[in-house]
Amino acid sequence: MKAKTKSQEHQLPMVLTNLIRMMPPMAIRDEVQYANYLEVIDRLMQVPRLSAGQADYLETLVQLVETYENKQHAIDVSVLSGLDMLKHVLAESGLSASALARLLGVHPTMGSKLVHGERRLTWDHAKILAGHFRLAPAVFMD
């Protein structure tokens, strides 16, 4: 019998039914189950080319985790202004003011003016940002 290599030991199944047998997807009930799902998601995200089964399984786990996070780890953003939210997403994503300007298709100096509150985002800007950061456009508006 041939011994498994270290990389083979940690490989995830490629077939959906085998992934389901390994860890059946179900509504997340506690932090332990949440952590287990996050671990498998991280492992799948490291796979260079997902099989169709792995991709479907990953999407399912992500949806389950998002649902759990929305219920258990919700963040109240109602106290944040549109400018606060803009600064937050830029900091989290590492985007500069000039990158913001490129993303919005505006003059390079406009990015800095937006970040410093010298200019306000338009609804069209908010929609572009919402699409890029996968948020609702309203979070960028006051």
d(CA 134, CA 128) in angstroms, rounded, equals 10
pLDDT of residue 75: 67
| pLDDT average per 10 residues of sequence, the chain (142 residues) | 46 93 95 95 93 95 91 76 92 93 94 94 93 88 86
With contact defined as beta carbons under 8 Å apart, do 103 and 88 qualify?
A: no
Architecture of 82-140 per CATH? Orthogonal Bundle (1.10)
Q: How far, in whole angstroms, is CA 50 from its chain's centroid?
A: 18
Q: Helices marked H in the chain — which ranges? A: 6-9, 16-22, 31-45, 52-72, 82-93, 97-104, 108-115, 123-133
- Computed over its alpha carbons, how large is the radius of gyration of the chain? 20
* CA distance linking residue 28 with residue 39, whole number of Å: 14
Check if the beta carbon of residue 104 is closer than 8 Å to that of residue 126.
no
Q: How confident is the model at residue 77, as a pLDDT?
A: 64
Please tell me the distance from the alpha carbon of residue 105 to that of residue 111, in angstroms, as a whole number: 10
d(Cα 77, Cα 63) in Å, to the nearest integer?
21
**What pTM was computed for the model?**
0.52
